[in-house]
Amino acid sequence: MPAALVARELRRRFGPVEALAGLGFEVAAGELYGLVGPDGAGKTTALRALAGLVRLDAGEVRVLGQDPAGGGEVRERLGMMPQQYSLYGDLSVAENLAFFARLYALPRATFRERARRLLALTRLDRFRERRAEALSGGMYKKLALACALLHEPAVLLLDEPTTGVDPVSRRELWALLHEFVHGGMAVLVTTPYMDEAERCDRVGLVHRGRLLEEGAPRDLVDRYAAEGRPGRHGGAPDFEDLFVARVEGRA
Ligand SMILES: Nc1ncnc2c1ncn2[C@@H]1O[C@H](COP(=O)(O)OP(=O)(O)O)[C@@H](O)[C@H]1O
Ligand SMILES: [Mg+2]
């Protein structure tokens, strides 16, 4: 089966900055893939490229086999949650969902059913009348996620969904993502938090616009441990040890 998301040799320069320097990876349907890397690594640019929102200097992206910049039906099968997702602060939870449903031109009955399900899934149903600006950071992200899922995309791109979110809501967000993936969705998520790598099926370590390493998180850490290097606290190495070592190896 062809990959749901393909990024091949992506290159993009902003003046002196090489934001993407040959980045490439693939995400299958039913897979949760994490782009893990520090601020400035190129994560957002890669995500925007996959949504067809960045002009590339070189390389190509495919979403469900098509070019997302070509417009058409593939755009409708793509869901995207940017890091700064703009909800309407003075509209309630329910009203925000209704607003996005109109953008997607969902029939009323379809919207009602999906909104009900998404509100239950995100456990926002008790807060449906609360204004978005009065939600906690975690609840705001969950509402943004619900809005991004209203049109039931086959592919979901999420830019740092857990940044600035409390630990409990972080765990809930990851649990939600696992549910979607279980249902066959292809999910690409970025995170600057090394400890979130292990929540993904596969991760790509991004640094300066390219992948340093890629694989199942457990395999990557095991491989690193097999090199005989201790963790920074003297014990078994973890993902952060691995990442720091790989970055230093490139320095
Ligand atoms: N529109 C832009 N104009 C100029 N520089 C940009 C632009 N977008 C991204 N960059 C630069 O490209 C690099 C990668 O940025 P970004 O993709 O946002 O990284 P990340 O999301 O991993 O923090 C950074 O140095 C950033 O400042
Ligand atoms: Mg970013």
| Average pLDDT, rounded, for the chain | 92
| Across 183-195, average pLDDT | 94
Ligand 2 centroid to residue 40 C-alpha, Å: 7
The answer on pLDDT for 76 being more than 80 is yes
Residue 19, CA distances (Å) to 27, 44, 57, 158 in order: 21, 9, 11, 18
**Contact call for residues 117 and 160 (beta carbons, < 8 A):** no
pLDDT of amino acid 16: 95
Ligand nearest to the CA of residue 46, numbered in listed order: 1
Confidence of residue 228 (pLDDT cuts 50, 70, 90): confident
Q: Is the CB of 19 under 6 A from ligand 1?
A: yes
Instruction: Tell me the pLDDT tens digit for each residue of 100-111.
Output: 999 888 999 999
The answer on pLDDT for 251 being more than 70 is no
pLDDT of amino acid 233: 81
pLDDT of amino acid 20: 98
**Contact call for residues 49 and 56 (beta carbons, < 8 A):** yes
The answer on pLDDT for 209 being more than 80 is yes
Collapsing DSSP to helix, strand or coil, 152 comes out as coil
| Across 168-192, average pLDDT | 92
**Atom number, ligand 1, closest to the C-alpha of residue 83:** 21
Atom 25 of ligand 1, residue of closest alpha carbon = 40
Nearest one of 75, 81, 119 to 98, comparing CA atoms: 119
Q: Is the CB of 53 under 6 A from ligand 1?
A: no
Ligand 1 centroid to residue 23 C-alpha, Å: 14
Confidence of residue 195 (pLDDT cuts 50, 70, 90): confident
Ligand 1 centroid to residue 20 C-alpha, Å: 9
Confidence of residue 172 (pLDDT cuts 50, 70, 90): confident
Best of 10, 11, 13, 17 for a ligand 1 pocket test (most atoms within 8 Å of beta carbon) = 17
Q: How many C-beta atoms surround the C-beta of residue 84 within 10 A?
A: 7
